[in-house]
Every structure is written in structure tokens, then in C-alpha cells.
Amino acid sequence: MSARSRVDDDDEKVIAMKPKQLQSELQDLRTFSNPKQNLEQYATTPLLATKLLQVASVEFNDIEEKSVIDLGVGTGVLAIGAKLMGAGHVLGIDVDADALEECKENLEMYDPELEVELCLMDVVELIRRYDYDEDEDEDEDEDEAVSVKRKDYVWPRADTVLTNPPFGTRRKGADVAFLAAAMKMAETAVYSFHKTSTREYIEKVAVKKLGAKSAKVVAEMKYGLKNQYGHHRKDEVEVFVDVWRIEPSSSKAKKDDDDDEKDEMFEQNLRDLAANIEELQLSARQRKDKERNKNSRKNSDNRKKW
Ligand code: SAH
């Protein structure tokens, strides 16, 4: 693939691609060779990615010459699409080093190689830790205290954040944590995919819980999920998804008192969210311990038989 085809020879200005051409470029990218179910790794289809990028670029001017973060970049379809549409600096974040490796291979398929910065980061964990109340831990031993004092965690920032987040079916709360992180990172807008069936819930989370200035569905699509994990009965399941455009409260627009109130609400809700996730992790740990006890009991039963 040639990234050069996008460049005007006279002034080296990047020319945004037409949707059909973009879609066919994205078709050639590799997707997860070994998708991890616990991370809900589903690649966005080229059609869906093109739709999101086209709306973001043409209707809202949120891509061309803008800095972009792809949150949960996976093998990179949204980041690469943004770059091909003329984005400025693009950063891809993922918790999975294997996915980042495959994303890098996709970037290298271009000549010259597409420039997308990649970063290994667990955004769910970071949201959980963010803004932990320092005072409570004063008596803790030093290492512990340092690890929880993340009050002013410096999030990477970009004009636009794109994400096809985990839907939160494997790690509960991951969808909300992704949205919270995306809103921390976006100056202007977050674009995110969510199941149409969760429309009311997403609006409530974005506006009421996370204090978004606005949250709108800007496109509706069908998403053909391939049976890559074997737990679906059919080969492909059709899921209806919405493309959301969410404006964070701390966007470039001038703040007023109302916004300050929303900021406060946002911080409080993040603390609630952190507590929720902690609880969930605790119960997961308890489940694991139970399982372990059961197994060790089984083992000792087996030993008795010997
Ligand atoms: N953006 C890609 C992949 C979407 S699948 C695409 O559109 O095709 C969701 C992605 O989120 C996966 O790559 C998964 O590894 C990543 N992910 C899941 N949990 C994460 C976490 N806690 N922190 C960062 N990335 C995470």
C-alpha cells in the first residue's frame, strides 16, 4: 500500500480520501490473529470504520489536521483510517501488547510507514485509580501510598478521541470506564460505538454520570460479529450499533458556572465508578479463590483415593 498516493506532489499537502477508497484500503489491513475474549477484541469492520470517519470528518470537521487518540486501538483500523483521512498526530492506546504488535505491522505495510504513536496502557485500571482520596491512606506504608496517590494523573490529550470500546460484557464496567477515560482525553469530541439497545443507558451515563456537554447518535449501523470465540451459536451475529458523538464538559468552549458544577459531578461520579470497579474486582477475586479451594479439595480427594 502506498501512503504516498495521498500526498500532493507540489506542496506535500495530505489529501483526504474518498469513502470508497478509504474502505477498500482498510479492507487490506490484518485484524486480530488471536482475538482475546476477555478483552472483547472485535475488529471494527472497514464499512463501520469508514462511516464513523466520514461523519467525524465531513459533518463535524473533527479529523483533518486534528490530533486523534484511538482508545483500544487493537490492530489499528480507526487510527489508520484517521491518518488516511488527513489527521495530524495520532496516538493508539491498548492494554494488549500483541494487538499493538499487529497494529505496528499494519502501519509498516505503508510506504512510507504510517506514523501512529502506540502506547500500552490499561485505561480501565487507570480510571479506577484516578483521583483516589489521598488523605485516607496517610498511615499506609510508603510504597502503597505512592501507588494510590494518582490525584493528578496526566491523561494524554487530543482534539478527537475515537473508540470501539469493550461493551462491558466480559469485564463489567469496562464500557463506562472507556467513556470516562475518552472524555478525560478529548478536547473537542469523543466518537464511540455502542449497541443500539443501550441507547438510553449511554445517554444517561455520558450526560448525567460523566457530565458530558452533549451526547448524540450521529449514525446507525449494522455490525456483523463473526463467530471468533465459539460461544455464539451462529457463524455471524448481527448487532445494531450507534455511532455517538460526545462533547466532554471540559471542551475548548468557554466554561461557565454550570460547567463547574458538571465538573464536580464528573469527579464525584468517577469516584463512584472507581468504587464500583473495585468491588467487582473483589468479587472476581473471591470467585477465583472459591474455585481454587474447590480444586485443591478435589486434588486432596484424589490423593486420598491413591
Ligand atoms: N479499535 C480496534 C479494536 C476494538 S476491540 C478496532 O476498532 O478494530 C476493543 C479493544 O480495546 C481491543 O483491542 C482491546 O485489547 C482493548 N482493550 C480492552 N480493555 C482495555 C483496557 N483496559 N485498556 C486499554 N485497552 C483495552
**Residue range 94-112, pLDDT digits in tens:** 999 999 999 999 999 999 9
pTM listed for this prediction: 0.75
Is the C-beta atom of 43 inside 6 A of ligand 1? yes
Report CA(86)–ligand 1 centroid distance (Å): 23
Report pLDDT for 172.
80
Report pLDDT for 237.
79
Q: How many C-beta atoms lie closer than 10 Å to residue 74's C-beta?
A: 25
Return the ligand 1 atom nearest residue 99 CA. Answer: 13
Left (φ > 0), alpha (ψ -120 to 50) or beta: where does 17 sit?
Answer: beta
Contact indicator for 193, 162 with CB cutoff of 8 Å: no
Report pLDDT for 292.
76
Report CA(178)–ligand 1 centroid distance (Å): 9
Return the ligand 1 atom nearest residue 177 CA. Answer: 22
Q: Give the C-alpha separation, 192 to 212, whole Å.
A: 13
Q: How many C-beta atoms lie closer than 10 Å to residue 116's C-beta?
A: 22
Report pLDDT for 141.
45
Is the C-beta atom of 246 inside 6 A of ligand 1? no
pLDDT less than 70: residues of the chain? 1-16, 131-152, 225-235, 250-263, 265-266, 268-269, 272-284, 297-306
Report pLDDT for 7.
47
